[in-house]
Structure 1
Amino acid sequence: MSALPEFARRLAGASLFAAALGLCAGVQAADPLKLGFVYLGPTGDHGWTYAHDQGRKGVETKFGDKVATLGVENVPETADAERVFRDLATKGYKVIFGTSFGYMNQMEKVAKSFPNTVFMHATGYKTGKNLGIYNIRTYEGAYLAGVVAGKMSKSGKLGFVGSIPIPEVIRNINAYTLGARSVNPAITTKVIWVNSWFDPGKEREAALALISQGADVLLQNTDSPAVVQAAAEKGKYAFGWDSEMTKFGPTAHLAAAVLHWDKIYDDVVDDVLAGSWKTGDIFIGAEKGAVDLEAFGPMVPDEVKKLVDVRRGAIKAGTLHAFGGPLKDQAGKEVVAAGKAMDDKTLLGMNYYVAGVEGSVPK
Structure 2
Amino acid sequence: MNSRAILAILRKDLLDSMRNYQVILMVLTPIILSLLFTNVMSGSKTSAALPEIGVISSPQQPLIESLIGKGLSKKITFYQNRHDLESAILEGRVRFGIILPEIISSRNPKHQSVTLLYPPHIPDFGVETLKSVFEAEIRSQLGMTPQPLPFEFKVEAVAGSSSNANAMADSMFPMLMVMAMGMVGFLALPMAIVEEREKGTLNAVFLTQIKTSEFITGKSMFSLFLAVTTIFVMLSINRKWGDNSGYLVLIIFSGSLMTIFTGLIVANFAKTQAAVNAIGTTIFLFFQMIPSLQHSSDIVRSAAPFVPSTYIFSALRKAMFLDLSKVTINDDILIIVTLTTVAYLVAHGVYRFKQADK
Same fold (TM over 0.5): no
TM-score (norm 2): 0.24
Tell me: higher relative CO, structure 1 or 2? Use CA pairs within 8 A at least 6 residues apart.
2
Q: TM-score, normalised by structure 1?
A: 0.24
Q: Give the structure with the higher percent helix.
A: 2
